[in-house]
């Protein structure tokens, strides 16, 4: 049985701008056998959908918008060992291909971190379009990808007593974007 929310075939046309207060990009990386999470906020994002359903998603944030729970760690993540915010202040994404199937979304594009651009594929879901009390149209997207941080020049590590590296190379990035129609 099909429901209304499953029938979306194309993204709704228009220029959709991020609601920065309610959006973020989270990261998760394996650390000493567990998961360490942080986020970037605010993030900028725009989704442009033409009348034929062709879409482009662009997004960016400042490296200095990284948020973790310790100021010393925050400072280290901004240093040349990691993001090198002084020399590479911006992190950005530009889509090249956006595909929609029902509420599923697959976006191919280029992610640039530390000045190094790499192709990535984001996979996720489109939320139910909502009209708020001020008659603004909302659309939410949640998309994720897993990158190898060393491909972006983030090579730092430290060995555990076993000799194994403490920090994993695979980082999962999850963008939770609340968009409002301009």
Partner 1 sequence: MRILGISGSLRRGSYNTRLLVEARELLPGAVELELWDGLKAVPPYDEDDDGAEAPAAVAALRAALAGADAVLFATPEYNSSVPGQLKNALDWASRPISTNALRGKPVAVVGASTGAFGAVWAQAELRKILGAVGARVVEGELAVGHAAQRFDGEGRLVDDDLREQLEETLRLLLEEAAFRVAAQAA
Task: State which of positions 122-181 bind partner 1 (CB under 8 A).
Answer: 156, 158
CB of 32 to partner 1, least distance (A): 17
DSSP 1: -
Q: Report the alpha-carbon distance of residue 166 to residue 121 in Å, rounded.
A: 27
> With CB under 8 A as the contact rule, which of the stretches 35-43, 76-84, 134-142, 171-179 interacts with partner 1?
76-84
Residue with Cβ nearer partner 1 (76 or 138): 76
Residue ranges of the alpha helices (H) in the chain? 71-78
Entry field: residues in the chain: 182
Answer yes or no whether residue 80 interacts with partner 1 by CB under 8 A: yes
DSSP per position, 126-177:
EPPPEE-TT--EEEEEEEEEEEEGGGGT-----B-TTSSBSEEEEEEEEEEE
CB of 41 to partner 1, least distance (A): 18
Answer yes or no whether residue 21 interacts with partner 1 by CB under 8 A: no
- Each residue 105-124 as x (binds partner 1 by CB under 8 A) or -, in order, gives --------------------
- The CA radius of gyration of the chain, in Å to the nearest whole number, is 18
Residue with Cβ nearer partner 1 (69 or 72): 72
Q: Of these, 86, 110, 148, 164, which contacts partner 1 (CB under 8 A)?
A: 86
Q: How many other C-beta atoms are found inside a 10 Å radius of the C-beta of residue 159?
A: 9
Contacts to partner 1 by CB under 8 A: 71-72, 74-76, 78-81, 84, 86-87, 156, 158
């Amino acid at each position: 049985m099909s429901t209304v929310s499953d029938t979306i075939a194309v993204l709704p046309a228009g220029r959709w701008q991020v609601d920065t207060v309610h959006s973020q990009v989270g990261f998760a990386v394996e650390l000493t056998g567990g998961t360490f999470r942080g986020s970037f906020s605010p993030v900028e994002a725009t989704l442009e959908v033409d009348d034929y359903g062709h879409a482009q998603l662009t997004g960016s944030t400042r490296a200095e918008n990284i948020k973790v729970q310790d100021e010393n760690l925050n400072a280290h993540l901004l240093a040349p060992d990691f993001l090198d915010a002084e020399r590479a202040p911006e992190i950005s994404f530009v889509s090249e291909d956006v595909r929609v199937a029902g509420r599923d979304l697959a976006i191919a594009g280029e992610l640039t971190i530390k000045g190094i651009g790499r192709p990535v594929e984001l996979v996720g879901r489109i939320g139910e379009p909502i009209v708020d009390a001020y008659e603004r149209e909302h659309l939410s997207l949640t998309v994720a990808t897993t990158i190898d941080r060393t491909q972006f020049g983030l090579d730092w590590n430290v060995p555990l007593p076993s000799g194994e590296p403490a920090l994993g190379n695979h980082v999962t990035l999850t963008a939770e974007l609340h968009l409002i129609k301009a």
